[in-house]
Structure 1
Amino acid sequence: MGKILGIGLWVCIVTLGAVYGSIYLATAPAGPSEEETKKAALELVRGEPITIPVLGGGDVSGYFLARISFMMDKEKVKGQALPTTELMTDQLFTLLVGNKMVDIANVSSFDVNAFREKIKTEMNTRLGEGMIDQVLIEQLDYVSKESARKAAAGGSAPMEKTTVVEGEQVEEKPASSGH
């Protein structure tokens, strides 16, 4: 009778252990998701603040104040021979000078997503396909020529500007410039 009771108790313990083990393994955390893996392969490269003249009628009518940063492929950034930030600034200036980007009279009609996509496409064409994954617009403001002159003359009032895009907050992590 004692042996049968011992064997029954043993079978119950083994069964409970097997059920516990299978539940534990079934609810084990999955590996990193595709989005987390992609994010880990990207690096933030901060853009420099740049001033882009707006040309109209053969004259400068105002200035865009811009700071655009990029989420870039870490491996491709390491392979760059030139400083990445300066290369991006040059490309942005080439892309945007003289380009009628925004109708200042109707700023609400500005298509931010199309603007980001154009920058991404042009930058990837120059730097290499897949280099730029995401375009982050930290600042995009417009200052008229008259307002800039008043501010340069030492006016006490703050410089009047039109915010074209509300800037995105970008983490202040030091980024490698590819060196």
Structure 2
Amino acid sequence: MLKLVFTGVWICAVSLGSVYFSIQHASAPVETDAEQQRRASQEYVSGELITVPVITDGAVQGYFLTKLSFSVDKAKARALDVPLKQSVTNALYDILVGQKLINVADTSNFDLANFKTAVKDGLNKQLRGEVIFEVLVEQLEYLSKADVARIANAANEKQRRPVPIVDKNGQTAHDQLPESEKRAAAAGQ
């Protein structure tokens, strides 16, 4: 019986000691000064839901529904001649309509990470500077022309939801703004 009590005390002491030492020796990730400055100068901007037509052979084949949000440089965003949301929406139409970033017929080669990078680089090029740090894809879906016609003509028919676009790695776009940034964006509108 005494052996069992000593074993229990020994296990408790070892457990408490290991927790104590792990807390004492754990350290937060080290951020460089450049990373701290970038975080201090950035803010999240919630984008608008936009509809981009997919044009093939001179005719509209369907529509992309996309909602993108951005991590931006505060000072550079305020220095723009046109407000950021309007500038970004205009630039997105140029990027998404002008470039074939997504092949709707074959989405097996679609790469979400490359899409985000292409949009970020295109936006920064159009805004003439490193204004956008990160692109968050909250929604990226496709509606064919037939789906739009069916929805418009059939009030009693069960509506189908847009089809989420899945990239070659099986990921769908579902990025979200940090909770504190959502509240700040909602208060600013």
Matched residue, 2:164: 163
Q: Gapped runs of 5+ residues in structure 2?
A: 1-24, 166-171
State TM-score, norm by structure 2.
Answer: 0.70
SS in 1 for 2:177: coil
Residue 53 (structure 1) shift: 0.4
Matched residue, 1:33: 31
* Matched ranges for 1:6-45 at <5 A: 33-34=31-32, 35-45=35-45
Structure 2 vs 1, CA of residues 104 and 126 (structure 1 numbering), >3 Å: closer, same or farther? closer
Equivalent pair of 1:43/1:175 in contact (CA under 8 Å): no
**Percent sequence identity over aligned pairs:** 34
User: How far does the alpha carbon of each residue in 1:17-64 deviate from its partner, in whole angstroms, 9 at most, with x for none?
Assistant: xxxxxxxxxx9x99x823444222211111110000001122111100
The number of residue pairs the alignment matches comes to: 150
Question: Considering only aligned residues, what root-mean-square deviation do their CA atoms show, in Å?
Answer: 2.6
Residue 158 (structure 1) shift: 2.0
Name the larger-Rg structure. Answer: 1
Equivalent pair of 1:70/1:134 in contact (CA under 8 Å): yes
SS in 1 for 2:47: coil
Q: Distance in 1 between matches of 2:44 and 2:127?
A: 16
Equivalent pair of 1:53/1:98 in contact (CA under 8 Å): no
Structure 2 vs 1, CA of residues 174 and 152 (structure 1 numbering), >3 Å: closer, same or farther? farther
Q: Distance in 2 between matches of 1:162 and 1:101?
A: 17
Which amino acid letter does the alignment assign opposite residue 31 of structure 2? Answer: S
Which amino acid letter does the alignment assign opposite residue 156 of structure 1? Answer: E
Equivalent pair of 1:61/1:144 in contact (CA under 8 Å): yes
* Matched ranges for 1:71-110 at <5 A: 71-110=71-110
State TM-score, norm by structure 1.
Answer: 0.73
Which amino acid letter does the alignment assign opposite residue 135 of structure 2? Answer: V
